Amino acid sequence: MQKNTQRRRLLNRNEIVQGPSPAALAALRNFPAEEANFYYDGYYGSALAKELSKKFRIPADRIIVGYGAENILDTLFDRLDPAKDAVLVNELHFDYYNVRLTARDVRIHEFRLVEDEREFRFDIDDCIAKIRSFRPKLILVTSPNNPTGNILSVGDLKRILAAAPKTSVVAIDEAYYGFDDRYEEKEFLSLLRRHGNLMFIRTFSKLYALAGLRIGYALCGKDIKKMIGYQGRHLGGSRVLEAVAVAALHPSSSTYYRDLAKKIALERERAIGAVNKLSHFKAFDSRANLFAVKVSPRAKSFIEKEMARTFPLVSKLYAPTILRVSVAAREHMDAFLKMMERADRAAGAPGKAAATTTMPPRRKMTRASKRPRTAHYKA
């Protein structure tokens, strides 16, 4: 585990506290100093694009490498025309979408996210209706979703692609790729060959535990680069960052990341099961290194009080009734579960008066805190 983990107050941004593979760390430590002062040979060089091409069997010229997935999202957003273009996203989505699109005065439409008994799900019928109604220039779906952890199925994506205009970019934000052992990668990637307007956006920040290095990539259909006016890096990418990412993709790292994903999934399921034994909270199934918890109104003030004094913190409460939990190491999740148990006891048994508590001072409302009905989430 990273040595600085214990010094951090916040572990609630879905980072991987266990750290990257030994091979990736070795590549970072041992990067040749004599290569730092030279670009790649030639122009538009990228060792990472070549490695991704081999791994996913996609032509290198259909791969975009960026400074984190955020950089690739910026490329999509910056090409939109506020006067005529709109974006369609799912409810309860990554807050960065709103930050960038609102700053550019681009219209945002949302399709429904439905709360089922055990998990959330995308309302694909509503998505298709919104596509037909608004004809968005960009259709952006997060899968697994942040903060709810639910996924888009292959069948769901096929329906969206069939409804989407060929002039619309269909982008699937897969930042949380790698934590779902039922993910149908072959079937998803096969759609790239049939749909030139489709792209999958991924990052090395989550599964590969390289959030501090900011490396992202996109696997694209044949028309994407032209549709978004993509311009490659004339002098190539960062040699040191790409060397670390290539090491993370190397077969020598495969066992490490496979075991890490399994460990995180087991910890996630243990925590979800424990939360669902409490009276005032309901945890939902997830396919990511996070999960959502619904908080009863009765327990909200108590969980806020507990979160203010818990160290380190793996949870965030934004919407009035939704808590997002980042799955960290076992000791962090044990501390989280103890926090939840204290809040549950303080809220009292259903139907009985809650225990008295000193309430934290009421926050002064600001323009930024006046959120719309649908809540969105930060990293």
pLDDT digits (tens, 9 = 90+) for 279-289: 999 999 999 99
Inter-residue contact 117 to 285 (CB < 8 Å): no
> At residue 362, does pLDDT exceed 70?
no
| pLDDT score, position 8 | 60
Cα angle for residues 207, 213, 216 (degrees, 5° grid): 60
pLDDT digits (tens, 9 = 90+) for 200-255: 999 999 999 999 999 999 999 999 999 999 988 877 788 999 999 999 999 999 99
Q: Which residues of 262-300 are buried (b: 16+ CB within 10 A; e: fewer)?
A: eebbebbeebbebbeebebbbbbbbbbbbbbbebbeebb
| Cα 70 from Cα 276, distance rounded (Å) | 34
| pLDDT score, position 143 | 98
| Residue 8 and residue 34 in one domain | no
Question: pTM (2 decimals)?
Answer: 0.89
> At residue 293, does pLDDT exceed 80?
yes
| Residue 145 and residue 262 in one domain | no
pLDDT digits (tens, 9 = 90+) for 69-92: 999 999 999 999 999 999 999 999
Query: Residue 376: inside a domain, yes or no?
Result: no
| Residue 115 and residue 165 in one domain | yes
| Residue 107 and residue 222 in one domain | yes
Q: What is the mean pLDDT of residues 8-18?
A: 89
> At residue 21, does pLDDT exceed 60?
yes
| Cα 99 from Cα 379, distance rounded (Å) | 12
Going by C-beta distance under 8 Å and a sequence separation of 6 or more, which residues neighbour residue 223? Answer: 196, 197
| Residue 114 and residue 188 in one domain | yes
Domains of the chain: total: 2
Two structure tokens written together for 115: 């709360």
| Residue 179 and residue 328 in one domain | no
| Residue 41 and residue 169 in one domain | yes
| Residue 246 and residue 287 in one domain | no
pLDDT digits (tens, 9 = 90+) for 308-349: 998 889 999 877 899 999 999 999 999 999 999 999 999 997
| pLDDT score, position 240 | 93
> At residue 358, does pLDDT exceed 80?
no
| Chain centre to alpha carbon of residue 319 | 18
| pLDDT score, position 374 | 42
Domain C-terminal end among 215, 231, 252: 252
Q: What is the mean pLDDT of residues 249-266?
A: 97
Q: Which residues of 28-43 are buried (b: 16+ CB within 10 A; e: fewer)?
A: beeeeeeeeeeebeee
Query: Residue 116: inside a domain, yes or no?
Result: yes
Query: Residue 379: inside a domain, yes or no?
Result: no
Task: Report the SS3 class of residue 233.
Answer: coil
Q: What is the mean pLDDT of residues 37-43?
A: 83
CATH number where 8 lies:
3.90.1150.10
| Residue 124 and residue 7 in one domain | no
| pLDDT score, position 7 | 54
| Residue 126 domain boundaries | 22-252
Query: Residue 354: inside a domain, yes or no?
Result: no
| Residue 203 and residue 311 in one domain | no
> At residue 367, does pLDDT exceed 50?
no
| Residue 192 and residue 336 in one domain | no
pLDDT digits (tens, 9 = 90+) for 106-115: 999 999 999 9
Query: Residue 62: inside a domain, yes or no?
Result: yes
| Residue 87 and residue 210 in one domain | yes
pLDDT, the chain, mean:
90
Q: What is the mean pLDDT of residues 111-122?
A: 97
Q: What is the mean pLDDT of residues 97-101?
A: 95
Query: Residue 187: inside a domain, yes or no?
Result: yes
Q: Where do we find the tokens 């989280």?
A: 336
Query: Residue 161: inside a domain, yes or no?
Result: yes
Domain C-terminal end among 208, 224, 252: 252
pLDDT digits (tens, 9 = 90+) for 126-176: 999 999 999 999 999 999 999 999 999 999 999 999 999 999 999 999 999
- What's the longest Cα–Cα distance across the chain? 72
Q: Which residues of 186-214 are buried (b: 16+ CB within 10 A; e: fewer)?
A: eebeebbeebbbbbbbbbbbbbbbbbebb
CATH number where 233 lies:
3.40.640.10
Domain C-terminal end among 252, 283, 302: 252
More confident position, 376 or 197:
197
Query: Residue 65: inside a domain, yes or no?
Result: yes
What percent of the chain has a predicted confidence (pLDDT) above 70? 90
